[in-house]
Amino acid sequence: MSYNSSSDSDLDRNVGEALDRAEAILERYVVPANLAPVFEVNPDSVIASYSEQNRVPTKQALGMYQSGLKSLCTSERTRFEGGRVSLDTSGLAAGRTWSVPGPVRSSNEKGEDFTDHELVIPQIVFCSLSLDSAMYVPNEVEAVAVHYLPGTRVVTKIRKRDGVPYQVSDDYVEGGYLGIARTFASAFDAKDARDELVSAVRAYGEESRSAREPDVFEAEAAKSSAPSVVPII
């Protein structure tokens, strides 16, 4: 069989270009190297304004701000279906990007599972603004993307159609809502941006998984010794 080096080179170049595009999309929200958040709206400025306008201490203003962000991201009026994108750039969930938990590292006496703080997977949550939001500007700022860092608790749910258990992150920690990553002129723009981000995260995840793929002998050895785990779906 002949070896076509040019086709391999083309494949490598295509992969590299795809990752460059994915990185450019990620950079709109985070620093790709460490997933540190990038804010379009400076949360410190917003909190200082809250504090001054409401005559409350800074920590109380922070709580008010985070409570407002949580409400936007979880309220039936403003949240998007599929609007929560986990930045699983390591491909741990094999392409799933919603509410991805970190790996279980411990359990408490109640049987609740937890991951370590450093393994928590950040999220970008897309949602619309309510008409009474201070940020709302018709045709200019009608939707936002919010940085969210889940808690360490890993939540196990049961899939209704077949009873299969699966794990999700804890998405209701008020203190995890950190600030506004981006603003959008419409909900349609925000949903397009969400789809772009999902594709970018999956591109990174596929590359990470391929880099970690064991050879056939390692895979067979792993099968024989692998513990039972709750599937992530």
**Residue at 7 is within a domain:** no
Q: What's the domain count of the chain? A: 1
The CA-based diameter of the chain, rounded to the nearest angstrom, is: 77
- Residue 40 is assigned to a structural domain of this protein: yes
Which residue range(s) make up the domain with 136? 13-210
Per the domain annotation, does 227 fall within a domain?
Answer: no
Residue 184 one-letter amino acid: F
Residue 226 inside a domain? The answer is no
Give the per-residue pLDDT at 145. Answer: 98
Note down pLDDT in tens along the chain; length 233 residues.
444 444 556 546 666 788 889 999 999 999 988 999 999 999 999 999 989 988 999 999 999 999 999 999 999 999 999 999 999 998 888 889 999 999 999 999 888 899 999 999 999 999 999 999 989 999 999 999 999 999 999 999 988 888 888 899 999 999 999 999 999 999 999 999 999 999 999 998 887 666 544 443 334 434 433 333 334 44
Structure token digits, residue 171: 């998405």
Q: What's the pTM?
A: 0.83
Contact in structure between 137 and 129 (CB atoms under 8 Å): no
* Residue 65, domain member (yes or no): yes
Residue 101 near residue 211, CB atoms below 8 Å: no
- Is 74 inside any structural domain? yes
The first and second tokens of residue 115, run together, are 């991951």
**Is beta strand 153-158 parallel, antiparallel or unpaired with respect to 113-114?**
antiparallel
Give the model's pLDDT for residue 12.
61
- Determine, yes or no, domain membership for 105: yes
Helices (H), the chain: 5-26, 43-54, 58-74, 187-212, 216-225
Does 221 map to a domain? Answer: no
CA triplet 91, 94, 103: central angle to 5 degrees?
Answer: 65
Chain position carrying tokens 């050895």: 221
